[in-house]
Structure 1
Amino acid sequence: MNIATRTLLVATAALTGLAGTALPAASSTTGAPTTASNSCPVKAWGYRGHYMCGTKLKAGYIDWNRDGRTDEVFVIAPNRHIWHTWKNAGGWKEMPGRGRADDMVGDNGTGSRSRCIIVYVIKKGYRYYQNCHYNGRWHNWTTSG
């Protein structure tokens, strides 16, 4: 794929923002999508999945209670869907709210009652979005910038 075509595809995907598309075929072992040429493997707590090569995977390893151990892992899949897993999740789970992203920023609210994950979508000025977990569940994606 040449640079002009790739740029056009990225721009088109960015214009859709957080609007979703159908998931590709899922892995039978993790539920995480595995079909894409820009797919890099990731493993957390024995759960295998794939993330979009070139995204800030390190930003997705979150230590919510600041005890020095990872509590939850977030990835941007090759199809821009946002997935997460934790120790007893049973595999990778797609984040609710049909969020889409182009890269990971990281967490916000670590150690507090609400836990927020921040991602961005390539648009003019890079639009940041966050989804927060409180009252026992994840909520809607909202813009934070």
Structure 2
Amino acid sequence: MDLPHPFSLDALCGRIAEQRGRPIRLHPLPKEAAESGVCGLWVGTTSIDYVFYEAQTSPLHREHIVLHELGHILFGHNSLEGEESGAQAPVILGRTNYTNRQEQEAEMLASLIRTSAGLPPVDEAAGTLARLESAMGYRRVQHGG
């Protein structure tokens, strides 16, 4: 995979969208989904891919969530728990844990992209901190620079 240098999540999404022939739109998860324990979600249709991410977490964790969902797209995962989708049915994958093969593959690819792009690793401590921040409703303010 040809990663943008310097790395940009928007540029990566643009490259993947170009390869797939349909746009990728990033959106914060609806409050109800986040409260149910989902931290990332991919909804793929024949004309567009939507990637939803937990907004009430650290920027590092948000970026990793999006990379994970892009992993599902790149691997061509098409359903949860091995269910088959019809040709016209949208693909909906929600990220809550890493117990099945598709989740493990997407998580590995997200980590490999981070490493290849020279981004800081998201280790277990950072993930724990991000979940704690999310549970507490912490929102980090990003400053332009």
**What TM-score, normalized to structure 2?**
0.29
**Higher RCO (CA-CA < 8 Å; seq separation 6+):** 2
Higher helix content, 1 or 2? 2
Query: TM-score, with normalisation over the residues of structure 1?
Result: 0.29
